Amino acid sequence: MVKPLSQEDGIFLSDLKKLLDFSPKNLDYYKKAFTHRSIKLIDTKGNPINYERLEFLGDAMLGAVIASYLYKKAPEGSEGYLTQMRSKIVSREHLNELGKDLNLIQFVKSNIDQANVGDNIHGNIFEALIGAIYMDRGYNFCQKFINVYVITDYVDLDKLEGKITSYKGLIIEWCQKNKKKYSFDTYEDTGNESVKHFSVKISIDGEQIAKGRATSKKKAEEQASKRVFFTLQNEIAES
């Protein structure tokens, strides 16, 4: 005899059906996919119940489906080209956008306020959802979901070829190619704010070109690098 769903689970199942366009068989996978580690749930064996393992699985499934798509879509693409395109499609920035567009954060159970969890949670739970679909319904359902929500709506190879996923990487590559000396001077810059900030100054051939400031070193460096790109874009385009 099938145990009747609680009112909360019934609402969750109904929302999932609308999102996935199919009916889940095992709701537990999806509940785990939206459980943050801050809840500190454990199973009967003492193992943590949260989305992190499903995120790992979903990342692998997403990469496999995208690799298969690119292999068929770009028959003349080299290994390097295919790898670059896959990296752009499954970039953290892109996955965060996908998670936000689907408003997956509405399902997350966490002891941390949503305003303080950071942008990456959107991409993390998107991958965890893919992992849950795979565990619940197998590869074909997983592939269909990725085709609908990733490939059909977001993948345009012509546009992706010109998309810059890392301004810092681009600036470093350009400097090395043109034998220019560059430096990233990054330091903590909290000031009077309660949240820690970092600032970075980028210099090329001894001349400071741009500055950036953000809540992480990586974001500050990327922000400053983007400003360097737009300052020197004509020189970069000509090289």
Of 9, 15, 21, 59, which residue is the catalytic one? Answer: 59
Domain with CATH 3.30.160.20 in the chain: 167-238
The tens digit of pLDDT for each residue in 194-224 reads 678 889 999 999 999 999 988 888 888 988 9
Catalytic residue among 8, 21, 43, 127, which?
A: 127
Question: Cα 115 to the chain's mean position, in Å?
Answer: 18
Q: What angle, rounded to 10 degrees, do the helices at 92-101 and 120-137 form?
A: 80
Cα dihedral 180→164→62→153 (10° resolution): -170
Task: Give me the residues paired with residue 200 across strands.
Answer: 186, 212
Instruction: Specify which of 22-26, 79-83, 113-117 reaches the highest per-range mean pLDDT.
Output: 22-26
CA–CA distances in Å: residue 118 to residues 27, 49, 174, 209? 26, 21, 31, 29
Query: For the domain with range 7-161, which CATH number is right: 1.10.1520.10, 3.10.105.10, 3.50.50.60, 1.10.357.10?
Result: 1.10.1520.10
**What per-residue confidence (pLDDT) applies to 141?**
95
CATH 1.10.1520.10 residue window(s) in the chain: 7-161
Question: How does strand 198-204 pair with strand 207-214?
Answer: antiparallel
Q: Has 127 been annotated as catalytic?
A: yes
The CATH number of domain 167-238 is 3.30.160.20: yes
Candidates 51, 14, 66, 41; CA nearest to 129 is: 51
User: Is 59 annotated in the active site?
Assistant: yes
